[in-house]
């Protein structure tokens, strides 16, 4: 999948947990066009813009903090604890690798 | 009446059980929202096809769902529950101040007159309202900001607003209950609230007769006699004849006065039902016998109802929102267990049978009487 390589306007691939795919009515992967440089924040902003039903499910409505049982992975790295405005790996911004929202393997 | 629709919330989804007025043969649909905790779902009293459901998850937070066709299809609606103004603090388990944090919706209570108006009781305890069919929710902050709010503490299940009763004779009056703060009443449509806990006695708080701090598990009323309230507290079953101004204990001959559910027969305002549960901490029926207790005298004199219920080796619980009554005659009573059974009685409690036996743990049961 080809993405734009400029700082803004990139198309980023996003993989969601199964329950959020069901909630949003989407398949294994979505693509979102960013309004800003590729960061965790701009990706999540774009996901929530295109799929408003996901607002509040990945990050808290009020605090905007990542829900504690979710993680953000890309290019073999755990980006969960990075500042949300740190640029994502170039391969994500280029659309070559997906930004993955992962649900913790836990619970009964 | 052409039938009933029983709405069941479980730890892993919602189920809808339907039957005709005989209430003998049931159809089961679900799971709806499989894998999610459904704390509560309830239908509008003025539009039986309009349902609201609270869907939540430790991973993904709160989602609200609405159906306009009796639960055949669902649409996610607004899920933003933001406390209004300064959040403030309540007491944490260790007694330290702890900021209010929204966790989930425990109870949805549709308006008696408008299908687009719904009240929501949430954890940490507060009351919200939608007037647009669930698209947006606004807090009624007078409850959370009550002068006693900084002294409220969570029960073991969290600091939840779990019961909302709307007074059919007075649109401005509502009753709510919070674990573990107690019962409150508003007479101005939710703008201001006051505790209604006089007569409650709770040994587990420093002042057993305190204004707030009681772990009220459930309130119930008969819609034609809204000044008479019934309460299942952490321990004690109580009655108020004056809209909560004062309470008197009516536990009488119950084998244990601990329990979660309480409800009132829709045809007989002085016939009430509880499910005694052994406590502390066991939280299963005494002697392994699942018994509903019925009082036909408004309390104090109770009879066990056992026909069709397991009378040996039964160690399930019946949680606070998991009993409901229909409006048919004779009254139908329904309750769900943490073992996944939903039992129903079509004869006022004289006999029972399982509608379903193997659902996930049941959190809530509601019933609609269909036209």
User: How many Cα atoms within 13 Å fall on the side-chain side of residue B77?
Assistant: 23
* Residue A3 scores a pLDDT above 50: no
Contact between residue B71 and residue B27 where contact means Cβ atoms under 8 Å apart: no
> What pLDDT does B270 receive?
98
Q: CB–CB of A23 and B76 under 8 A?
A: yes
CA B294, CA B308: separation in Å to the nearest integer? Answer: 15
User: Which of B59, B63, B80 has the CB atom closest to A67's CB atom?
Assistant: B59
Residues on chain A touching B36 (C-beta within 8 angstroms): 19
- Name the token pair of B64: 């609200």
| Domain boundary assignment for chain A | 11-103
> What pLDDT does A8 receive?
63
Average pLDDT of the residues of chain A: 91
CA B21, CA B43: separation in Å to the nearest integer? Answer: 18
> Does A107 contact chain B (CB < 8 Å)?
yes
> What pLDDT does B130 receive?
98
CA B335, CA B316: separation in Å to the nearest integer? Answer: 12
Residues on chain B touching A17 (C-beta within 8 angstroms): 59-60
Range of the domain at B293: 3-370
Q: CB–CB of A17 and B59 under 8 A?
A: yes
* Residue A73 scores a pLDDT above 60: yes
CA B237, CA B246: separation in Å to the nearest integer? Answer: 13
> What pLDDT does B156 receive?
86
Q: CB–CB of A55 and B81 under 8 A?
A: no
Residues on chain B touching A61 (C-beta within 8 angstroms): 79-82
Q: CB–CB of A19 and B60 under 8 A?
A: yes
Residues on chain A touching B35 (C-beta within 8 angstroms): 19
Compute φ and ψ for B269, nearest 5 degrees: -65, -15
Q: How confident is residue A5, by pLDDT bands cut at 50, 70 and 90?
A: very low
Which domain CATH number covers B27? 2.130.10.10
CATH assignment of A11-103, among 3.30.470.10, 3.10.20.30, 3.40.50.12280, 3.40.50.300: 3.10.20.30
> What pLDDT does A94 receive?
96
> Does B106 contact chain A (CB < 8 Å)?
no
Residues on chain A touching B57 (C-beta within 8 angstroms): 19
Q: CB–CB of B82 and A61 under 8 A?
A: yes
> Does B59 contact chain A (CB < 8 Å)?
yes
* pTM given for the model: 0.96
pLDDT digits (tens, 9 = 90+) for A19-45: 999 999 999 999 999 999 999 999 999
> What pLDDT does B335 receive?
98
A-interface mutation test, from B60, B63, B102, B134, most A Cβ less than 10 A away: B60
Instruction: Quote the Cα angle for A97-A62-B119, to 5°.
Output: 120
How many domains does chain B divide into?
1
Residue of chain A nearest B34, judged by CA positions: A19
> What pLDDT does A2 receive?
37
Residue of chain B nearest A69, judged by CA positions: B59
The DSSP element (H or E) to which A24 belongs, if any, is helix A18-24
- Name the token pair of B142: 């007078």
- Name the token pair of A107: 């619970």
* Tens-binned pLDDT, residue by residue, of chain B (371 aa): 589 999 999 999 999 999 999 999 999 999 999 999 999 999 999 999 999 999 999 999 999 999 999 999 999 999 999 999 989 999 999 989 999 999 999 999 999 999 999 999 999 999 999 999 999 999 999 999 999 999 999 988 899 999 999 999 999 999 999 999 999 999 999 999 999 999 999 998 999 999 999 999 999 999 999 999 999 999 999 999 999 999 999 999 999 999 999 999 999 999 999 999 999 889 999 999 999 999 999 999 999 999 999 999 999 999 999 999 999 999 999 999 999 999 999 999 999 999 999 999 999 999 999 98
* Residue A78 scores a pLDDT above 70: yes
> What pLDDT does A106 receive?
74
Q: CB–CB of B59 and A55 under 8 A?
A: no
B-interface mutation test, from A56, A68, A72, A104, most B Cβ less than 10 A away: A56
Q: Is the dihedral of CA B242, B244, B247, B253 positive or negative?
A: positive
CA distance A22 to chain B (A): 9
> Does A6 contact chain B (CB < 8 Å)?
no
> What pLDDT does A107 receive?
67
Q: Which residues pair with B66 in a beta bridge?
A: B52, B75
Q: How many CB atoms lie within 10 A of CB B36?
A: 27
SS (HEC) of B358-371: CCCCEEEEEEEEEC
> What pLDDT does B236 receive?
98
* Residue A1 scores a pLDDT above 50: no
């Amino acid at each position: 999948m080809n993405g734009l390589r400029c700082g803004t306007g990139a198309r980023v691939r996003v993989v969601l947990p199964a329950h959020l795919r069901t909630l949003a009515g989407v398949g294994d992967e979505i693509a979102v066009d960013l309004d800003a440089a590729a960061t965790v924040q701009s990706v999540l902003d774009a996901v929530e813009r295109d799929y408003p039903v996901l607002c509040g499910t990945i990050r808290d409505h009020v605090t905007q903090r990542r829900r504690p049982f979710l993680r953000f992975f890309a290019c073999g790295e755990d980006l969960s604890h990075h500042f949300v405005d740190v640029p994502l790996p170039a391969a994500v911004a280029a659309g070559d690798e997906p930004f993955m929202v992962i649900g913790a393997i836990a619970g009964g | 009446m052409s039938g009933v629709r029983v709405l069941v919330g479980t730890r892993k989804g919602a189920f809808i059980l339907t039957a005709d007025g005989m209430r003998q043969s049931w159809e089961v649909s679900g799971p709806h929202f499989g894998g999610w905790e459904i704390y509560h779902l309830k239908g509008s009293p003025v539009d039986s096809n309009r349902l609201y459901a609270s869907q939540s998850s430790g991973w993904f937070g709160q989602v609200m769902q609405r159906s306009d066709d009796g639960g055949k299809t669902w649409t996610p609606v607004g899920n933003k529950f933001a406390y209004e103004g300064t959040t403030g603090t309540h007491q944490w388990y260790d007694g330290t101040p702890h900021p209010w944090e929204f966790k989930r919706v425990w109870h949805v209570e549709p308006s008696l007159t408008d299908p687009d108006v719904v009240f929501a009781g949430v954890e940490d305890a507060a009351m919200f309202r939608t007037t647009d069919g669930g698209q947006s929710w606004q807090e009624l902050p007078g409850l959370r900001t009550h002068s006693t709010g900084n002294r409220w503490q969570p029960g073991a299940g969290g600091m939840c607003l779990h019961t909302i009763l709307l007074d059919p004779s007075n649109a401005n009056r509502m009753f709510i209950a919070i674990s573990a703060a107690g019962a409150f009443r508003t007479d101005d449509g939710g703008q201001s609230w006051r505790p209604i806990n006089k007569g409650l006695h709770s040994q587990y708080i420093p002042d057993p007769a305190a204004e707030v701090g009681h772990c009220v598990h459930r309130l119930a009323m008969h819609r034609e006699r809204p000044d008479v309230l019934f309460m299942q507290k952490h321990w004690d079953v109580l009655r108020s004849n004056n809209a909560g101004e004062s309470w008197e204990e009516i536990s009488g001959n119950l084998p244990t006065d601990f329990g979660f559910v309480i409800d009132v027969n829709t045809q007989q305002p002085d016939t009430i039902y509880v499910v005694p549960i052994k406590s502390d901490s066991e939280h299963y029926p005494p002697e392994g016998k699942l018994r509903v207790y019925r009082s036909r005298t408004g309390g104090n004199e109770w009879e066990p109802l056992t026909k069709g219920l397991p009378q040996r080796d039964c160690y399930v619980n019946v949680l606070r929102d998991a009993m409901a009554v229909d409006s048919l005659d004779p009254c139908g009573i329904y309750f769900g267990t943490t073992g996944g059974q939903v039992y129903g009685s079509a004869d006022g409690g004289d006999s029972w049978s399982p509608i379903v036996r193997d659902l996930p743990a049941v959190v809530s049961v509601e019933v609609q009487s269909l036209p």
